[in-house]
Every structure is written in structure tokens, then in C-alpha cells.
Amino acid sequence: MSALSMPLQGFPTRFPYGVPSNPVVAKGAADALPVADEVVMVTASAVDAMTLPLPVAGVYPANLSLGDLLGDPKDDGKSILLIVTTAFAHTITTPTGGINKTLHIVTFTAVVGNWIYLFAFGGTWYVIGSQGATLS
């Protein structure tokens, strides 16, 4: 009998497929997105003009080798996956230069299933991938 077919007994101490979490739901007309490791589902019934603050850059002391403590990462390494579930031209606005250091607005086409994956590093958001999103 494999471990997956055995009944669960007691309290689980390890989740083989990760710990489940609830996504953040953006359903208003002007939602403020969090700077956090999150999945955001956009369910607004009209255009949602979302805002996203800049992440806080990490502090990495000079002259450290890889074997040393790397410093305080602040928001570095956090990521947001935003998935659109309604067919509207939703937008995300950051402060100037907040996306890839030169852009600050994401505009989605009005198609269900569009998405963008953003990664925080050094006080800016970097686009890892997207579908149906235009950056400006």
C-alpha cells in the first residue's frame, strides 16, 4: 500500500502538496493590493483600478561572502500572481518606475483568464510572466 492510499491518522505534520491558502479577492472598483506572497483573484463586476505599492528593498551589507548571513531581505523575494476572472480591462498602477524599473501601469485586455506574475526585488516589481497584460 502506498503512503498516498493510507488513511490519515492524528494531526498531519507535513503537507506533501504544500499548505493550502486562501487567495486574496479583488472585487471592488479601486482595490489596494498587498505587498505579500499572494495569489489575487480579480472578481470585480466592472473595471477594477487596482494600486500596488512598491516593495521595500532588502538591506545586504557589503563585503559578505555567500557563506555569511545575507542580511535583511525586507520585501525582496515576495511575489504576486494576479488572475483575472471577469472580462473587463482591469488595471494595476504602481508609483513611477515600479515595474521593471521603467514602467508603472498594467492594463489587461477584457478576457477571462488573463494573468500577471510579479516578483519583488530591490524596491521594484519584476514581471516574470503574463498573459493579456500590456505594460506602460
**Tens digits of residue pLDDT in 2-41:** 444 555 555 555 555 665 677 889 999 999 999 999 999 9
Residues 41/23, Cβ–Cβ less than 8 Å = yes
Tens of pLDDT, residues 83-117: 999 999 999 999 999 999 999 999 999 999 999 99
Residues 114/132, Cβ–Cβ less than 8 Å = yes
Residues in the chain, overall count: 136
Give Cβ neighbours of residue 20 (< 8 Å, ≥ 6 apart): none
Give the three-state DSSP class for 6. coil
Q: What pTM was computed for the model?
A: 0.80
Look at residues 54, 3, 52, 1 and name the one whose alpha carbon lies nearest to residue 24.
Answer: 52
Tens of pLDDT, residues 36-92: 999 999 999 999 999 999 999 988 777 766 655 667 889 999 999 999 999 999 999
In the prediction, which pLDDT does 76 show? 92
The chain-wide mean pLDDT, for the chain, equals: 86
